[in-house]
Amino acid sequence: MLQRLSMKSRIAAAVFAALVGSSWAAPADDLREAQKLYGSGKVQPALDKVESVLRAQPKDPQARFLKGLLLTEQKKTGDAIGVFTSLTEDYPELPEPYNNLAVLYASQGNYDKAKSALELAIHTHPSYATAHENLGDVYAQLASRAYDRALQLDKNNTAAQVKLAMVKDLFISQKGTSSAKPAAAPPRPAPPRAEPAPPKAEPAPPPKAEPVAKAEPAKVAKAEPPKPEPKAPSKAAPVDTKAAAATLALTAPAATSAAGDEKARITAAIESWAKAWSAKDVKAYLAAYAPEFEVPGGESRGAWERQRTERIEKPKSIDVDVKVTAIQVTGNEARATLRQSYKSDTLRNTTTKTLGLVRSGDRWLIKQERVGG
C-alpha cells in the first residue's frame, strides 16, 4: 500500500543513499547528528539542526529532503509539500521527492495529484518499484470510490458489489501482512555511481467513503436532449450515451498523443546529438545547434565551434549517454532536463544538463545549453 512517511527510517535511507556524491554536500557531521536526532524521535532538535545546515547551504538536497520528513512528522503537510515540490524543481532527476509528494497528497485524499506525482517519478526512474506499487494503490483507491459511488446510485448493481468487495479485500489483506515486514537498517553511504535502492512501500488504510446522496429521477431526466416538438414528447430521440462516451474516449487521447509525439521528437533529437558526439561526427554534432545558439562565455560562434571540434577530435574514443528526465514544450520552444554520462580515454563525468530547444521546420535544435537544473 502507499508508503507512509511515518516510516522515517526507510525513507531517510532512500534519500541519503540516493544523494550520496552530490555536489551539494552538506557538512557530514551536522547531517549525521540531525539524522540521529530524527531516528530517536527528537523531531524539533533535528529540525533546528537541519535549519542550521540550510542557513549555510540553502540548496543542499539532503538537508532539504530531511526537512520535508521532519515537517511531515510535525503534521505540517502544506509546508512539507512545499519542500518536496521545490526539490522536484531543482532536482527533477530524483524520483523520491515525487514519490513522497504523492504520499502527502494521498494522505489528504487528493488521489488525482498523487497519481500525477507518481507518474512523474516513474518517468524519471522507470525501474522505481515503489512508485509503481504506490501508483497501483492509488488506482485501487480511485476504483474503490467509483464502485462505492455506483452502488449509492444503484444499490442493486451486483457487479459493482463484487468489484468493491475485491478491492476492499485487497487493502485488508495487504494491511494484515505489512506488520511482518522488518524495519530498514540505518542508511549507509553508497558507492558514488551506485543506483539508490528505492524504499519499500508501506500500506495505508483506504479512506472511508463519504456518503453521497442518491440521485433523484427528476435530475436524471434533465440529461435528455431538448424535445423538438413540445406538444409531441414521444418524438424526442433518446440520448445515445454509448456514442457520446466513444467520442470522448477517441477525442481526449488525440491531443495527448500530439503532445507525446512532440516530446518523442525532442528526445530523439537529443539522442541523435549524443550519438554524433560519441561517433566523433563533428559535422552532425554542430548541426544539432541552432544558428541563434547562445554561445557560453560571450565568445564568437566560430571560436566556439573550433574549440568543440578540438575537444571532440582529440580523445581516442568518446561515449556519451543521455537520459532525458523532463521536457516542457511551449509553442516552438522547449526546455529539456537530462542526465549526461561522458566517458573518454582521458575523462569521465556525469552531470545534469538543461537544454533550451527551438523548432526549425521539422527539427528541434539546441538554442541554449547549461549545466544544472
pLDDT grade for 28, boundaries at 50, 70 and 90:
low
The pLDDT value given to residue 196:
44
Question: Percent of the chain at pLDDT above 70?
Answer: 67
In terms of average pLDDT, the best of 7-16, 134-143, 337-346 is: 337-346
Residue 44 has pLDDT above 60, yes or no: yes
Q: Which tops the pLDDT comparison, 146 or 202? A: 146
Q: Which tops the pLDDT comparison, 217 or 159? A: 159
pLDDT tens by residue, 172-209 = 655 544 433 333 333 333 333 333 444 444 555 555 54
Residue 6 has pLDDT above 70, yes or no: no
Q: Going from the N-terminus, what domains does the chain have, and what CATH number goes with each?
A: 8-178 (1.25.40.10), 260-371 (3.10.450.50)
The pLDDT value given to residue 304:
92
pLDDT grade for 167, boundaries at 50, 70 and 90:
low
Rounded to an integer, the average pLDDT of 243-253 is 32
The pLDDT value given to residue 125:
83
Rounded to an integer, the average pLDDT of 90-97 is 87
pLDDT tens by residue, 103-131 = 999 888 888 999 999 999 898 888 888 88
Q: Which tops the pLDDT comparison, 29 or 366? A: 366
**Range in 41-45, 72-76, 232-236, 352-356 the model is least confident about:** 232-236
| Average of per-residue pLDDT values in the chain | 74
Rounded to an integer, the average pLDDT of 289-307 is 90
The pLDDT value given to residue 20:
37
Rounded to an integer, the average pLDDT of 246-258 is 37
Contact call for residues 342 and 350 (beta carbons, < 8 A):
yes
The pLDDT value given to residue 170:
63
In terms of average pLDDT, the best of 6-10, 63-67, 157-161 is: 63-67
Helix orientation angle between 8-18 and 61-73, rounded to the nearest 10 degrees: 170
